[in-house]
Amino acid sequence: RIIKNIKMKIHGALTIFLSAASLLSPTLGDEIMQIHGSGTTNPSKCIWGIMSKFNARSRDPIRMTYRAVGSSTGQAEFLGRLNTNNGTAASHWPHVDFGAGDIPISEEEYDALNDEPGGVADNLKMVHLPFALSSVSFFYNLNGADKIDLGGCLLAKIFNRKITQWNDPEIVEVNPALAKISTPITVCRRTHGSSSTKSITQFLYKECEAEWSYDQVGSELTNWDDGTTAVEGSGQMVECINEANGAIGYLESGHGWAESLQEISLQNLDGNYVTSKEAYLNGGITGAASGYDA
pLDDT digit string, tens, across residues 10-44: 334 456 666 654 445 454 556 888 999 998 877 88
In this prediction, residue 82 carries a pLDDT of: 61
The reported pLDDT for the residue numbered 21 is 46
Among 141, 165, 170, residue whose Cα is nearest residue 153: 170
Instruction: For residues 130-139, give the mean pLDDT.
Output: 87
Query: Taking all residues of the chain, what is their mean pLDDT, rounded to a whole number?
Result: 81
Name the pLDDT band for 80 (thresholds 50, 70, 90).
Answer: confident
Rounded (5°) CA angle 139-278-288: 100
The pLDDT, as a whole number, for residue 22 is 42
% of the chain with per-residue pLDDT over 70: 78
CB 38 within 8 A of CB 78: yes
User: What are the φ/ψ torsions at residue 24 (nearest 5 degrees)?
Assistant: -90, 115
Are 75 and 198 within 8 A, CB to CB? no
pLDDT band at 222 (very low <50, low <70, confident <90, very high): confident
Of residues 11 and 198, more confidence is placed in: 198
pLDDT at 5: 27
Q: Give the C-alpha distances (Å, rounded to integers) separating 226 from 64, 188, 279.
A: 40, 12, 34
Q: How confident is the model at residue 9 (pLDDT cuts 50, 70, 90)?
A: very low
| Selected residue with higher pLDDT from 28 and 184 | 184
pTM score, whole prediction: 0.73
- Residues 170-187, mean pLDDT to the nearest whole number: 98
**Closest to 276 measured CA to CA, from 13, 74, 50:** 13
pLDDT surpassing 70 at residue 55: yes
Q: Could you tell me the sign of the dihedral formed by the alpha carbons of 48, 49, 51, 56, in that order? A: positive
Q: Which residues are 81's β-sheet partners?
A: none
pLDDT of 135 higher than 70? yes
Q: What is the pLDDT of residues 140-150, one digit of tens each?
A: 999 999 999 99
